[in-house]
């Protein structure tokens, strides 16, 4: 196992999206990630979205490079195994309801005494404190209460959502940032492990730019604005003659002048009132209408060619079919070929970010339930008879090789 996180041991006690996605990112860059799953069905994401022969294709992506250890955490013997795994771990990542680990005897006080170097990353809807901490919270609720749903959609229309689990994924990214900061502190000898408290709501809220000071100082409530970016002009989505849409970001001062030349409106580009963003934003409807008039008269390919020649940032709106066929995605190794357990080949997303000396890698796809239980328990010093005894008692589930 290689990568910049080689030697980092992570235990994941989580399900679905937020904690598993965070752990996946660490696993892609060399961390040893041991995923604890309940016997029987395991992580529910094994059955989410589109399935291939009974297993989610998302599972194979979300759990790549992880070791699946199936423990019945209602069993004292399984709790003892979990503690032994955590005794020399660098990170625990969990997204259970606040207080759930404490009920299992795996709370912070217990684990910190067991392993002072352990960092505990806790992802929940509202955080580990505050009046809402005990409420159930999914990513969709984080998006709603974090402010992004209110500002997403057509002007005057129903608040919309993006087509992916944005709130969960944003929490995952914040969890990874917090985890790495804490581990770095420990590795540099500057302190012990700590709790990284990540809220779905706060992870979304952290992206909301100047929403709060605009409201507090100016009384301004940012509303839905369709494809436009409020207060930044021009930056919008425009129709083309052949039924496509193009996103154009001409909002820097020199780019705006070049864009106006391309669309045949140098008068707007030379107008002093549009020389800076604040002037353009005040009359964004006029500018957008001029741009849409030009794009509507031309096909998408001609529009993109003209804008590229003028060095104006623009792009067509991609479907997944466009992404998979795009040569830039392929050249950047963002479309990888994977082999499923039955030998079927399938394309999967590549790894982000790109590190020049210690790049991430995919070593295997999501494992079968309990596939690594025996291996990991043997690493703790248990012999085959002891492992089988735990399985017979229902404390663990032994999986099969794919």
Residues with active-site annotation: 168
Peptide linkage before 222 cis (omega within 30 of 0): no
Give, in order, the Cα–Cα distances in Å from 236 to each of 46, 124, 199, 251, 307.
38, 34, 31, 10, 14
Kind and range of the H or E element at 71?
strand 66-71
Strand ranges, E, within 235-351: 235-239, 245-249, 314-316, 335-339, 345-349
Helix (H) or strand (E) holding 333: none
Here the tokens at position 287 are 């500018």
Give 153's contacts (C-beta < 8 A, 6+ positions apart): 159, 160, 224, 226
Phi, psi angles (nearest 5°) of residue 79: -60, -40
Q: Which of 53, 37, 78 is nearest to 380 (CA)?
A: 78
Separation between Cα atoms, residue 163 and residue 266, nearest integer Å = 38
Query: What is the C-alpha separation between 174 and 178, in angstroms, rounded?
Result: 6
Handedness of CA 118, 124, 127, 133 (dihedral sign): negative
Q: Tokens 């500057």 belong to which residue?
A: 190
């Amino acid at each position: 196992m290689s990568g910049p996180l080689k030697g980092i041991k992570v235990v994941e006690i989580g399900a679905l999206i937020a904690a598993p996605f965070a752990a996946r990112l660490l696993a892609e860059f060399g961390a040893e990630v041991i995923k604890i799953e309940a016997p029987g069905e395991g992580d529910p994401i094994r059955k989410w979205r589109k399935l291939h022969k009974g297993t989610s294709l998302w599972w194979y992506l979300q759990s790549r490079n992880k070791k699946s250890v199936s423990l019945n955490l209602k069993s004292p013997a399984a709790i003892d195994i979990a503690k032994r795994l955590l005794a020399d771990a660098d990170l625990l990542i969990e997204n259970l309801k606040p207080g759930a680990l404490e009920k299992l005897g795996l709370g912070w006080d217990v684990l910190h005494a067991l392993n002072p170097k352990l960092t505990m990353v806790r992802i929940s809807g509202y955080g580990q404190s505050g009046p809402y901490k005990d409420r159930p919270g999914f990513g969709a609720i984080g998006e709603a209460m974090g402010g992004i749903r209110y500002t997403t959609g057509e002007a005057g229309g129903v608040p919309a959502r993006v087509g992916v689990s944005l709130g969960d994924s944003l929490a995952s990214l914040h969890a990874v940032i917090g985890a790495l900061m804490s581990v770095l502190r420990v590795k540099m000898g500057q302190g012990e492990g700590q709790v990284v408290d990540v809220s779905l709501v706060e992870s979304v809220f952290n992206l909301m730019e100047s929403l709060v000071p605009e409201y507090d100082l100016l009384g301004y409530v940012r509303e839905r604005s369709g494809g436009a970016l409020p207060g930044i002009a021009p930056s919008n989505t425009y129709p083309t003659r052949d039924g496509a849409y193009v996103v154009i970001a001409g909002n820097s001062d020199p780019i705006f002048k070049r864009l106006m030349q391309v669309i045949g409106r140098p008068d707007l580009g030379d107008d002093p009132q549009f020389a800076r963003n604040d002037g353009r934003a005040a009359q964004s409807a006029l500018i957008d209408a001029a741009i849409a008039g030009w794009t509507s008269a031309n096909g998408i390919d001609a529009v993109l060619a003209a804008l590229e020649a003028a060095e104006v940032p623009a792009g067509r709106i991609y479907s997944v079919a466009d992404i998979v066929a795009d040569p830039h995605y392929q050249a950047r190794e963002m479309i990888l070929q994977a082999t499923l357990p039955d030998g079927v080949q399938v394309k999967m997303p590549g790894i982000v970010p790109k590190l020049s000396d210690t790049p991430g890698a995919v070593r295997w796809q999501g494992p079968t339930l309990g596939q690594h239980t025996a291996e990991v328990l043997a690493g703790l010093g248990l012999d085959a008879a002891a492992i089988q005894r735990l399985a017979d008692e229902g404390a663990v589930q032994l999986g099969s090789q794919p």
